Amino acid sequence: MGDIPALRRGLAVLRLLATRAGPVSAATIARELALPRSTTYHLLTELERARFVTHLPAERRYGLGIAAFELGSAYLRHDPLERLAAPLLRELVERVGHNAHLGVLHGNELLYLIKEHPARPETVVTEVGVRLPAQLTASGRAILAHLPAAHVRALFPTASAFVHRTDRGPTTLAALRSILSAERRRGWSCEDGHITPGFASVAHPIFDHAHHPIAAISVTLRHHCDNTPCGTDWSALATEVRCTATELTRRIGGRSD
């Protein structure tokens, strides 16, 4: 049992390095984790021997090593997000009675990984493997709303990036940013007829340990509205979606706030 504190400290070092955009000095690690300098160097040495940490002598800094990458790759090969999401989506469908999906960004498109439907499903285009313009889908915007502005700009650099399916949805970067800002403040995203006339969707993002959006859960239902924006109150449905998304975030070790 005497090795447990050392294990916890070593994991804390790896978590810290994982949240940084680049290598970090030992002094910074010691300060942010409130560790003695001698303990910090001992941990870094052991992690380096195991290839979980890489030492950059010229910069006097430390970054994640190849073993950390291999571990992360193995994690992804097990499809943990999909495996953990599937039962939660089934429960969500039972509660709301509509189609539910798990989607991730693929460039500036939304890729659907899972679809769960009620006993009497409603036919929609959001099947597993389908890719749709991210700025038009509720799931896509739920993710985009929590990305840095520069990232969004890189995904939609010109007017040609704004593909349309109906006559609804943002057509410029300025319009998209305005929508994302409003949905980020509200906490969830929705679209009404942007993908398929007569259908609407509500979505909430899934976050990783660094509060980075990695996916989104959405519910799609039949709805027709001639008004833009739609005056329908989606807050009750959004609460159900948010509860499921928050639970999935918790199960993957993510941070919701």
Q: At what angle do helices 26-33 and 37-49 cross, to 10 degrees?
A: 120
- Residue 1 has a pLDDT of 41
Say which residue the tokens 């709301």 belong to.
96
From the first residue on, what is the mean pLDDT of each consecutive set of 10 residues in the chain (257 residues)?
A: 76 88 90 94 93 90 84 63 92 94 90 86 67 92 93 88 82 93 94 84 91 92 72 88 96 84
Q: What is the pTM of this model?
A: 0.71
In whole angstroms, give the CA distance from residue 80 to residue 77. 8
Q: Which three-class secondary structure state does DSSP give residue 87? A: helix
The token pair at 108 is: 């500036």
In whole angstroms, give the CA distance from residue 124 to residue 181. 28
In whole angstroms, give the CA distance from residue 226 to residue 239. 25
Query: Nearest Cα to 103, choosing from 203, 182, 180?
Result: 203
- Residue 159 has a pLDDT of 86
In whole angstroms, give the CA distance from residue 110 to residue 136. 9
- Residue 196 has a pLDDT of 80
Q: Within 13 Å of residue 232, how many CA atoms lie on the same side as its CB?
A: 21
Query: Nearest Cα to 139, choosing from 153, 154, 124?
Result: 124
The DSSP symbol for 161 reads G
Helical spans, DSSP H, in the chain: 4-18, 26-33, 37-49, 66-77, 80-96, 138-144, 149-155, 173-186, 235-251
Q: Which three-class secondary structure state does DSSP give residue 193? A: coil
Q: Which three-class secondary structure state does DSSP give residue 218? A: strand
The DSSP symbol for 159 reads G
In whole angstroms, give the CA distance from residue 242 to residue 21. 29
Q: Which three-class secondary structure state does DSSP give residue 53? A: strand
* Burial zone of 148 (CB within 10 Å; 0-12 exposed, 13-18 middle, 19+ buried): exposed
- Residue 227 has a pLDDT of 64
- Residue 76 has a pLDDT of 56
- 191 near 138, Cβ under 8 Å? yes
